[in-house]
Structure formats: C-alpha cells, structure tokens
Amino acid sequence: MKAKKNFWDKNKYFLISVSFVLTLFALWELFAVIFKVDSFVLPKFSAVLKEFFLLFKNSAFYRQLLGTLSRVLIALSLAILFGVFLGICSANRYIRACLRPVVATIKSIPVMAITLIILINFDKNSAPFVIGFLMAFPIMYNATVLGIDSIDKELVEISKVYSVSVKNKVFKIWIPLMLPSVFSGVETSGGMCVKAVISAEILCYTINSLGLAMHVAKSSLEPKDVAILFAYCLVAILLSLAIEFIVKLISKPLLSWK
C-alpha cells in the first residue's frame, strides 16, 4: 500500500496529464462518430491512430523523420550556442543595447515572411534549419539574459571585491546560476524549433521532410490522406515532447544542487 502511495506521489501529475489527453482523444472519437463529421473535416481519432502506426511500416517515413530531426537539431544546437554566448556577452550593458533591437526584430518577423526572404539566399533543403535557428535564437538569448539578471547582485559585488577573474566569474558563478533559466529556454525553443522547421519545409517543398509529407497529404482529395495529415501532426507533437523530455533528463543531474 505504501509503495502504491509513493508511486502516486511521484507520478501523479504525469498520470493526470496522460489521463486528460486520453480523455480528449476519446471525446474526439465520440464527437466524430455521434455527429458523423465528414472525414475531410475531422477524421476519427481511431483512423488517425491507425495511419500513425502505419507510418512506421513505411521506409520513406524514416527518411522524412531523420531529415526533419537533423534540421531541428542543427538549428537548435546553433541557437543554444549563439544564444548563450551572446547572452553572456550581454552582461555588458553596451553590448545588450546593441543586440536588443536585432533580437526584437528577429523575434517579431512572421515565419512565412522570413522563410520567403531566406529562400532568396538559401536552397530549399538548407532554408528550414536557418528558419529554425532564427526562431529559437531569440528565446535562448532572452533566457540567458534573464538567467544573468537573476544572479544575486551581492555575489557579483563580492567577486569584484576579491578580484575574481573573468574566467572564474563565468564558469563558477554565471553559468551554474543561470543554468535553470537556460534549460527552461531550451525546452521552450525546442518545441518552437520543431514547429518553425516543419512550417518552413512545407513552404520550401524540402525533400525527405515531415513538412513535404504533410503538404502532399493536404493536397490529396482522398479522405484517408486527411487522416495521414493528422498522423504526421501527431508525429510533430511527439517529436517536440521527446526533445522536452530529453532536455529535462539532461538538466536533472546538472540542477541537482537547487
């Protein structure tokens, strides 16, 4: 009995989330059946689930998934690298003043508009990860700046009094204390990066991509292909959740001091 209670205490929020999602899927199925919704508008969840599992029997799906995942990981890695580096540099108020309008501009440009601009200078296979980078970078930069601003000012003053070197300030004070904010930024930017990359793949007709597969399914007049489109959307959602889960898994030991 005690073991069951401990299991519930440790996993209750996860179990509640799963239960809620399953309830929504059940309501989706009931709504489509009871009101006899046209499959072109809203396919049954059971049909979507069937097509979802059938995707894994198709070798082309793995090329599409790998292609999109590689673009997402390249874009996200570069966004983390540049976002954290420039965020740390922005501890200097003059540098922050210079970067603020640049970051604000990148953050405010719509995905479709920036994709069309990027396509002028990049090919259709490279453009999506550039778009993913531009969407994720402002989030990582702002998360890093927020992490630096949250560092105890007294600790900074003490480091000045004892003439702590810049290297030690960065690696022993700034980075450890801003890691929670940085990891929070990675979680948020991961989902945003997946969404931006797939949106760009749709607009760019990128080969070997989930985006192109979605576009092909959307363009078909077959009811079955609408269910396939929903199945690909489900793949995109699970990809975002997988990135978030991995980030939490990595961050847990690094933030064990909290």
In this structure, the answer to whether residues 150 and 217 fall within a common structural domain is yes
Number of domains composing the chain? 2
Residues 6+ apart with CB under 8 A from 247: 183, 186, 187, 190
> What span, in angstroms and rounded, lies between the C-alpha atoms of 89 and 91?
5
Reading the block at residue 256, the tokens are 């064990």
In this structure, the answer to whether residues 158 and 243 fall within a common structural domain is yes
Provide the pLDDT for residue 141: 97
209-234: pLDDT as tens digits: 999 999 998 887 677 889 999 999 99
Q: Contact 195/236 with Cβ under 8 angstroms?
A: yes
Provide the pLDDT for residue 165: 79
- Arithmetic mean of pLDDT, 153-173: 76
CB atoms within 10 A of CB 140: 27
Residue 2 pLDDT exceeds 60:
no
> What span, in angstroms and rounded, lies between the C-alpha atoms of 143 and 19?
32
Domain that holds residue 195: 39-254
Alpha helices in 109-222 (DSSP H): 111-121, 127-149, 153-161, 166-168, 175-204, 210-219
In this structure, the answer to whether residues 28 and 96 fall within a common structural domain is no
First to last CA, the chain: 31
In this structure, the answer to whether residues 88 and 190 fall within a common structural domain is yes
Burial 54-71 (b: 16+ CB within 10 A, else e): ebeeeeebeebbebbbeb
Provide the pLDDT for residue 188: 93
In this structure, the answer to whether residues 4 and 83 fall within a common structural domain is no
In this structure, the answer to whether residues 143 and 26 fall within a common structural domain is no
Instruction: Tell me how far CA of residue 133 lies from CA of 3, 87, 114, 128, 197, in angstroms.
Output: 45, 15, 12, 9, 9
Instruction: Find the CATH number of the domain harbouring 116.
Output: 1.10.3720.10
Q: Which of 108-112, 118-122, 218-222, 235-239 has the highest mean pLDDT?
A: 235-239
Alpha helices in 35-92 (DSSP H): 45-55, 59-89
> What span, in angstroms and rounded, lies between the C-alpha atoms of 2 and 130?
52
In this structure, the answer to whether residues 178 and 60 fall within a common structural domain is yes
